[in-house]
Chain A
Amino acid sequence: MVTATINEFDNTVIDPAVRPPLMSGNNTLSSITEQVASLAERPKPPRAWTIAFAFSSSLTVMLFALIGYMIVTGVGVWGNNAPVAWGWPIVNFVFWVGIGHAGTLISAILFLFRQDWRTSINRFAEAMTIFAVTCAGIFPAIHIGRVWFVYWLAPLPNSLAMWPNFRSPLLWDVFAVTAYATVSALFWYLGMVPDLATLRDRATSKIRKVAYGLASLGWTGSSKQWRLFEMAYLLLAALATPLVLSVHTIVSFDFAVSQVPGWHTTIFPPYFVAGAVFSGFAMVITLMVPARQFFGLKNLVTLRHLENMCKIVLATGMMVGYAYATEFFIAWYGGNQYEQFAFVNRALGPYAWAYWTMISCNVLSPQLFWFKSVRTTPWAMVVICVLVNVGMWFERFVITVTSLSRDFLPSSWGYFTPTLIDVLMFVGSFGLFFTLFLLFCRFLPMVAMAEVKSILPAEGSRQVEPA
């Protein structure tokens, strides 16, 4: 039995003979248009949006002020120092990139698996990807110190006649994250063109007509354009799938191709990718539950959607837990004393507090999703998913800092503490993320209207009418 709220449509019953409906209520083409487009067309935003936007933009301003302070003063304002030369900035970078991967997975990988339920959430998730990658990209860009020389990262002809080092994973990162940001942006924008055309055709003010008109490029919805669109969507999904796997693999190479005990392990690529999907889906759920409540999208983003996402969180959480166990096993089985010490030190050393936070948040808390009641109760999902995100931040922290603070030579050991700037910049990055996200919710179509329309039962899709 399911304990759902009275006005919550429950399509989470599992009956192999019946394909459950993906939407509730009587949805027609025009009702979907009206429901989603009106969210972007309100002349004055709701009060709650304004308050949230004021709060998040003040955090964003703080972030940029701190970045300015850091550029003028130097990277020493952070806690990074010998022996822990990589601290919060890289942890934040991997955290945000990981969150971004869920959006691409929903858009691309679920599309290739023909999971129609993705259509209600994919626009939302791809937007989250774009904004998460933006936040991620800030940290490597500013950590170089002399930010005005950031173009030195690129292989541009210069007066030194020098080129960057192609054997370094740090350069692979530059290419990977650039490619990921660009392809995700192209994918997101291309998918939005038909919906922007819808907003264009409904626009009443001149500014909106011009803005949406330019953005929609003159889309008319002809069969030729749809043919191209579908083919392009399929190709971009097929390209984005290896992209998302390779990008986080390359990010894991930052650690895996080094010699540091606890880092130099071949499990990192699949472990990081699974962890990225894990944290990304947790963030999607954390954002989606309040959004569907507040924006009235419960008929389009049903309990089944949330339940499916919780199942993915559970599955990837188990993969991450399995990876933790494998690391320990291989450290013991491999007989390398430094590796063995690294893992014992994680659990029992000075950072044990971080390690056990990570374990309880990542391995233990998602196990609650085995219970149907938990994975069909929205607020419970949010609590668990916030814990998952906390745990995943701590996972990157544990990997980075414990291995560096105690590596081969005991005389080099040291304890790392973050500075206030470290902490505030991380908080500020959340401000940037939410600012961009609130702007998206205000001005752009939050749900992929055209895709949702194409899975309406009346439109000849394989989905069934709601009961």
Chain B
Amino acid sequence: MSKATPKQPEVLPDPEIKIGGLLAEFVSAADVVAAAKAIRQAGYRNLEVHSPHPIHGIDEVLKAKRPRLSYGAIVGAVIGLVGGMWMAWWMNAIDYPLIISGKPMFSFLPSLPIAFELAILLAAFAVFGGTIAMGGLPQPANRLFRIPAFARATNDRFFITVDASDDVFDAGQTEALLRREGSVRIDTIPILDARESRLPRPFVLTAIVLGVLALIPPVLIVKARSTTSTVPRLSFISDMDHQPKYKAQTTNTFFADGRSMRPQVSGTIAMGDLREDSKFYRGVSDDSAEATGSANKNFSINTFFAAIQSESEALTVADERQKTPNWVTEFPIPVDESLIRRGQERYEIYCATCHGIGGDGDGLVTLRALELEQGTWVKPTSLHAEPIRNQSVGQLFNTIANGVRKMPGYAAQIPVKDRWAIVSYLRALQKTRTATAKDVPSDVLPNMRELN
């Protein structure tokens, strides 16, 4: 005998009091199946069988319908499968395409593991949720639990409940029938009033408190996503935020001059900085190197560092620039139409603002400066003027790179080859003012004559 309450007297129906139904106890599964069959044959429909384990054959006796759980599982599985595939496709191929070592942006097979797992997960949720919901669970307040004898339903006894709402129900007759079919004990099922069925106060309060607390994280997330902050985010372990390394423009006590940024070690040339071809890089012929040895220093990288070492040195550098170097007169790279076109494009980006589209010194900046300065502004030299026309290509190159008079040098903005491209375009521009009929190709000449 279990530790259940000692044998209690049966609570038999009082004809004066309304009852919820009758609860009949049976000793074995076979008994309860036979009894259920008989009761159903007697016309009762509102009955249920309770047992400590599932009884084979009870579904046929009660003529119960199979629950439709598998449909939920299929729906869940399809949603999971399709959803997983869609997720992999949309997230990795459409919204933020990730280039991963040449693999296709979306492929069916690699997306299958995730889609498959999601399918099973959602199907399992559907099955679990369906079981709980369709079983009427959770149901903590069941009137059957008010009957102490019912505790054995999960232990070793079998029960039939006949609901009073059944058409054929009659307290006395139903009780007699149940006893005839082998019931060892009959109890009355009470009717619970609304107050008794309600969830007790502590549970409601706890549920409310937990519900409110559960809302806090989403609210915080929404707040963080939709507002700005004047303070940096919380960082719990900040080793990567404050890294022990030197940054640009900071002091450093390790070196005598106190700088973290170190100048280039003297006598070295950085990779990619070896500009041996002075015709290409500087527009001067090599044989001037001995004649103006220090002049070459002007056009090397070290000029910058030399200049900042002392002001007198800077002045010396400026002086040395007065000596005329040996400018190249031929282009060091082959000149073709594509180079001239490139030069045109670059000229119109960098030069035309001051020098004008046609090279006459009437660019927009010049015009505006003239307006603002009320005529005291010195216009850029016209590129068609004779001194400029007579300059060699090397000197033009140097002007573009290092500037002249008030024009700044454009070495930082214009790469070396582009400077040569601009020079080639300048020559083309200059040609437009000085060309004669002899310079025009013979197949184009007839068309030009017609215009004139």
Contact = CB atoms under 8 A, between A and B. Distances in A.
B137 A29 contact: no
Given A202-B2, A220-B150, 20 more contacts: A30-B2, A71-B237, A166-B111, A176-B113, A190-B128, A201-B151, A214-B138, A217-B137, A220-B153, A221-B51, A221-B52, A223-B55, A224-B64, A225-B136, A226-B51, A226-B54, A226-B58, A227-B66, A228-B134, A246-B117
A74 interface: yes
B52 A223 contact: no
B48 A223 contact: yes
Contacts of B120: 179, 183, 239, 242-243, 246
A231 B30 contact: no
Contact of B124 (A223, A230, A239): A239
A246 B113 contact: yes
Contacts, number: 222
Interface of B: 1-4, 28-30, 48-59, 62, 64, 66-67, 69-70, 73, 87-88, 91-92, 95-96, 98, 100, 103, 107, 110-111, 113-114, 116-118, 120-121, 123-125, 127-128, 130-132, 134-142, 144-145, 150-156, 225, 236-237, 239
A354 B103 CA distance: 36
B111 to A, nearest CB: 6
B70 A155 contact: no
A228 B69 contact: yes
A197 B236 CA distance: 45
A202 B52 CA distance: 13
Contact of A155 (B91, B139, B141, B144): B91
A231 B123 CA distance: 13
A253 B110 CA distance: 11
10 contacts: A33-B2, A33-B156, A167-B103, A176-B113, A202-B155, A223-B50, A224-B48, A224-B135, A229-B135, A235-B123
Contacts of A8: none
Contacts of B128: 186, 190, 232, 236
Contacts of A214: 138, 140
Contacts of A183: 120-121, 124
Interface in A240-268: 240, 242-243, 246-247, 249-250, 253
A165 B1 CA distance: 61
A444 B267 CA distance: 80
Contacts of B56: 460-461
Nearest to A238: B73
Interface in A188-233: 190, 194, 197-198, 200-202, 204, 213-214, 217-232
A205 to B, nearest CB: 12
Contacts of B110: 166-167
A283 B42 CA distance: 55
Interface in A154-180: 155, 159, 161-169, 171-172, 175-176, 178-180
A33 B4 CA distance: 12
Residue with the greatest number of chain B CB neighbours at <10 A, chosen from A155, A168, A225, A461: A225
Contacts of B30: 460
A197 B59 CA distance: 22
Interface of chain A, main secondary structure: helix
Interface stretch (A50-58, A83-91, A378-386, A446-454): A446-454
A232 B237 contact: no
Given A172-B113, A218-B138, A194 B66 contact: no
A219 B137 contact: yes
Interface of A: 28-30, 33-34, 71-72, 74, 146, 148, 155, 159, 161-169, 171-172, 175-176, 178-180, 182-183, 186-187, 190, 194, 197-198, 200-202, 204, 213-214, 217-232, 235-236, 239-240, 242-243, 246-247, 249-250, 253, 449-451, 453-454, 458-461
A202 B153 contact: no
**Nearest 8 Cβ contacts at the A-B interface:** A29-B156, A163-B91, A218-B139, A30-B156, A166-B88, A454-B53, A217-B138, A201-B151
A70 B155 CA distance: 49
Contact of A165 (B49, B52, B92, B155): B92
Contacts of A453: 52-53
A218 B156 CA distance: 18
A235 B127 contact: yes
B116 A246 contact: yes
